[in-house]
Amino acid sequence: MGSTAEAEYREFLEKVKRTVYIDNLSPRVTESVLITALSQFGVVKSVKFIPNYIESRDIPQCALLEMESQKQAKGVILDINRFSFMVSGMPRPVRARPAQAEMFDERPTKPGRKIHCRWLDSNDPDFEIGKKLKHLTQKHAAEASVLLKQQLEREEKLHRQQEEILKANYKKFELLNDVVKDKTATGLARYYNVKFRDG
Amino acid sequence: MAEEDIEFKWGTKRGVGGKRKNVQFYETFTYDGDEYSLFDSVYLYDEKLAEPYVGKLVKIWENPDQTKRIKVLWFFRPHEISSYLGSMQTLENELFLASGEGEGLANVNSLEAIAGKCNVVCTSKDPRNPQPTDEELRNADFIFYRTFDVGRCEISDKIDDKIAGVEVKLLLNSYGSKKPGEASKFVLDKKEVGVKNIVTDVKVVPPKKNILGNGLTNMIDGGHINDLAKESASPMSIQKSTYGGKISICDVSTEITKHSHIDGRSFDLRTVCKLGDKETIDPRASFDKQESINWSDDVKSSDATKIEGQKEDVSRDKINLMPKVPKDSLPKDIKGNLLDSKIGLMTKDDVLNAENYLPKSFVNEKVKNNEDSSELDNRPSKKAKFDGSIKMIRDKIKDNALNISDKSSNGVVKPTINTINDFGPNSKHKLARDSYGLDRDPVKILKPNEELRRIASGRLLKPSYEASIEDGKVYSQTMEVTRRPEVDKSRWFKDLPWEERMRDAHERGTLVLLQNLDRSYTSAEVEGLIWHAFNEKCTAKMVQQTTFSSPHYGQAFAIFTKREVAELVIMKLDEGCLMLSNGRPLVGSFGTPYFPQKKSTFFGHINISRTRLHMHREMKEAVSTSHYSQPNTLEYDMAMEWCLLQERSDIEWKKLYKQQGEELRKFKSNQKSK
């Protein structure tokens, strides 16, 4: 039993190594989209989205992509981060990182690892510290939650800004297009005696 | 440069070279008041740069025309090779040693380019590298453990045998900074730090000098159980908890020291390790695996066997102490270790599991002995029933143990062996039950039911679980957590997807969010934990970590069978304090999971209304496919803005978690038992 558990665990570690963690994905991204997008880097063996139940708001989707080899996984991470790579949407690029064991849903228990627990007596000097630590745990979780909220707000702000910029750009583009379309441009060109060519 | 103004003196000569033997090589020199030696790390100053270069002196010589030259093997700062780092994390003061062949490996510079000494410490776990002490690490300007191959542009944590023609051991932590002529010490140092490192890794207090008995009892699980388990050909998990393992290193080694009559009972780790090495402890192995010490090859020498014997012996002794140790009457360490002994035993085969719980009175007596005189006497077994199934080895060990405890009489606590054979000829089951009854405060004896005795893996369930549940709680009893027995009849849930089950549980009020778990726990381990702490069944799932997740905390959702149970668990966790390994109190609250709505907006993806879309073909394609952004587009600019924002967020997370980590450490350092 021990040896198979160990083998299983080793195998799992190997799997972790050849897996890429990708985040900043749009919720519209599906497994097949990811596979298509990432196939240019190598063989994608499996895609698993990491569900979010713990953060009480929408966060960008993240997924684990198992590649065929560790080398491929490394390549994916390097390339995606060096150039901004976009999947089913722009302009926000996705981000890739090496996967960690803790990101996986079903992972084997590390063979031989033992966990202990004990109930502390209320007279125990550690009891108070334990209380404080429990408090601290919740405080830290709240802190992280606030930070995440702020970041998401900032992302929203940037989104709106960029949307404005893009709209303005389109307006210009539209204007140009209209001018060309309704022959104003050709008319003007004739008037000023300059050459004008569409396209 | 006005080098004439600066004090300079050649030191030790090395030899001559060059075509006409007119180049003089040196090993040391003094420059501007500092003495430099070969393989020292130095700052090299370039006026164009804000930060000086860092390199290692690999050659020092004087040309016939009196010009002084140094050959410098470079270190890279992370930002210099950032494009090859990818997403690799680097430490703030990390450097990369150049290696391989090609440009950028090393250069010849004039000696006067040296701007000063630089303290670079190698933290590589490479066995060739003498591990730095904590103090050295604190004093280090930089550290390195990875190399950058200038030819292949690869980062590696392996270090070649030779870099730029220099034996690599000269490039790693040197003993040059220590007093010369202490080569042997160097070797010891190496070992010492090796072990020390392990110890600190897990934050274990070194053995206390004043309580020898304690020290002895500590040593349970370490190598020895390991050995035994090996010998008994039980392939199951033998590794002990990180915690226990570490402790036993110290203590095992301590023991060795004593018996080898070197340095008396010194707890100096150095000695310890030196001996440890002799006795075929391989401290190196401990780096590789979580388990700390490998008693390689089962300790063939008689000496070693003896030691092992003693360990065995002591462990027995301790085990017996364990269940009855009054909480306040013994040093914390022992308590901390109670669990280890348990583990040790339990991970062995069934025979071992079931054995060895002494009647209460007996144990008490022993505890007293321990306290009063710090000396346990070598009394004969009171209940010497010998189980035939025990292996001969044990027999031998017992003898050896006896030997040893006799030998080590000068003030050393003698561990007793009286309980080694203390299990009856009855069936193991019976024994387990019996001993279980004895070893707990007999407030309420739970009947060990059939379910309890079955365990997932088909092994016997250890009696101590039951022992540790007394009205739901037993204070200060440390429980070892194994898998919860698979008797859960509520497997009908199994086929439903987790999300559904969670939604359902949330509505019924049976969903509990557990916080402050170790993030490496698996769902099965959490289930086991709940089972042992509350005697309640639950289905748990660790929350998968993402980039936002704290590196300090793991969380899990647990679904209980009934609302009352969930409430009880939360209440108990709130009012009591369930301490997990490495000083984490478990936190529980009702879980309110977030179920994402399927929505299509995503900040960062801008959709242009369809009517406009057709005008801009380029953009249209961009929306529908995955692609790299071209640097000359508006899109690229925007992408860069996102990257910037992302970087900023990353830094914020890093800072937050660093700060939280420090707060945690501060609190934890106040804990008495670690």
The span from the CA of B221 to the CA of A46, in Å, is 41
pLDDT value at B197 more than 70? no
Secondary structure (3-state) at A19: strand
Contact A70, A56 (CB under 8 A): no
Selecting from A1, A53, A107 the residue whose C-beta is nearest the C-beta of B557 gives: A53
Average pLDDT, chain B: 60
Give the H or E element holding residue A66.
Answer: strand A61-67
Q: How far is A12 from chain B (nearest CA, A)?
A: 13
pLDDT for position B178: 39
Q: Which of B411, B244, B418 has its CA nearest to residue B316?
A: B418
Selecting from A91, A100, A132 the residue whose C-beta is nearest the C-beta of B545 gives: A100
A197 or B109: whose pLDDT is higher? B109
Nearest CA in chain B to A116: B480
State the average pLDDT over residues B352-367: 38
Contact check, Cβ <8 Å, B643/A93:
yes
First to last CA, chain A: 72
DSSP string, B448-479: --HHHHB-TTSSBPPTHHHHT-STT--BT-EE
pLDDT for position A21: 93
For B421-452, the pLDDT digits (tens) are 333 333 333 333 333 333 333 333 333 333 33
Under 8 Å CB-to-CB from B73, ≥6 apart: which residues?
B55, B56, B58, B97, B98, B105, B106, B163, B164, B166, B171
pLDDT over 70 percentage in chain B: 46
Secondary structure (3-state) at A50: strand
pLDDT value at B252 more than 60? no
Give how far the C-alpha of residue B195 lies from the chain's centroid of Cα atoms, to the nearest Å: 12
Contact check, Cβ <8 Å, B629/A115:
no
Q: Which of B128, B10, B125 has its CA nearest to residue B68?
A: B10
Under 8 Å CB-to-CB from B124, ≥6 apart: which residues?
B144, B145, B146, B157, B159, B172
- Within 8 A of A63 by CB-CB distance, chain B residues are none
Complex confidence, ipTM? 0.86
Contact check, Cβ <8 Å, B522/A97:
no
Local structure of residue B81 (DSSP, 8 states): G
pLDDT band for position B16 (50/70/90)?
confident
For B379-407, the pLDDT digits (tens) are 433 333 333 333 444 444 444 434 433 33
> Is B498 buried (19+), middle (13-18) or exposed (0-12) by CB count in 10 A?
middle
- Within 8 A of A116 by CB-CB distance, chain B residues are 241, 243, 339, 343, 478-481, 580-581
B614 or A131: whose pLDDT is higher? A131
Q: How far is A195 from chain B (nearest CA, A)?
A: 24
Alpha-carbon dihedral sign for residues A132, A134, A136, A138: negative
The CA–CA distances, whole Å, from B615 to A89, A170, B44, B618 equal: 17, 9, 58, 9
B40 or B330: whose pLDDT is higher? B40
For B476-496, the pLDDT digits (tens) are 556 666 555 544 444 444 456
pLDDT for position A64: 92
Residue appearing with tokens 């509990």? B512
Residue appearing with tokens 């309704």? A182
For B343-356, the pLDDT digits (tens) are 333 333 333 333 33
Global pTM reads 0.50
pLDDT for position B401: 39
DSSP H helical segments within A83-124, as ranges?
Answer: none
Q: Per mean pLDDT, which of B89-93, B257-261, B383-387 is the most reliable?
A: B89-93
Residue appearing with tokens 């997924």? A63
Among A52-56, B114-118, B144-148, which stretch is predicted with the lowest mean pLDDT? A52-56
pLDDT for position B495: 53
The CA–CA distances, whole Å, from B572 to A134, B209, B331, B339 equal: 13, 38, 27, 22
Q: How far is A114 from chain B (nearest CA, A)?
A: 5
Contact B9, B29 (CB under 8 A): yes
Give the E-state strand segments of B281-354 in sequence order.
none
Alpha-carbon dihedral sign for residues B348, B354, B359, B360: positive
Contact check, Cβ <8 Å, B577/A130:
yes
Q: Which of B369, B372, B345 has its CA nearest to residue B357?
A: B345
B173 or B652: whose pLDDT is higher? B652
Selecting from A97, A134, A141 the residue whose C-beta is nearest the C-beta of B87 gives: A97
- From first to last of its 199 residues, what are the pLDDT tens digits of chain A? 557 888 888 899 999 999 999 988 888 888 888 888 888 888 889 998 988 888 777 788 889 999 999 999 988 888 888 877 888 777 888 888 899 888 888 888 888 777 888 888 878 778 888 888 888 888 998 999 899 999 989 998 998 998 888 888 888 888 888 888 888 888 888 889 887 775 5
Selecting from B543, B597, B670 the residue whose C-beta is nearest the C-beta of A54 gives: B543
The span from the CA of B405 to the CA of B401, in Å, is 6
pLDDT for position B480: 62
* A146 reaches B (C-beta below 8 A): no
The span from the CA of B581 to the CA of B47, in Å, is 53
Provide φ and ψ at B458, rounded to 5°: 85, 5
Strands B538-542 and B554-560: antiparallel
Secondary structure (3-state) at A25: strand
The span from the CA of B564 to the CA of B397, in Å, is 51
Selecting from B532, B544, B652 the residue whose C-beta is nearest the C-beta of A117 gives: B532
Q: How far is B449 from chain A (nearest CA, A)?
A: 22
For B292-301, the pLDDT digits (tens) are 333 333 333 3
Among B71-75, B466-470, B579-583, which stretch is predicted with the lowest mean pLDDT? B466-470
Secondary structure (3-state) at A183: coil
pLDDT value at B140 more than 90? no
Give me the residues of A, 3-32, that contact B with CB < 8 A.
3, 5, 21, 23-24, 26-28
The span from the CA of B77 to the CA of B613, in Å, is 47
Contact check, Cβ <8 Å, B547/A120:
no
Q: How far is A73 from chain B (nearest CA, A)?
A: 12
Contact B60, B30 (CB under 8 A): no
The CA–CA distances, whole Å, from B401 to A62, A86, B231, B396, B473 equal: 57, 68, 17, 8, 37
DSSP H helical segments within B91-241, as ranges?
Answer: 134-139, 168-171, 183-201, 212-218, 226-231
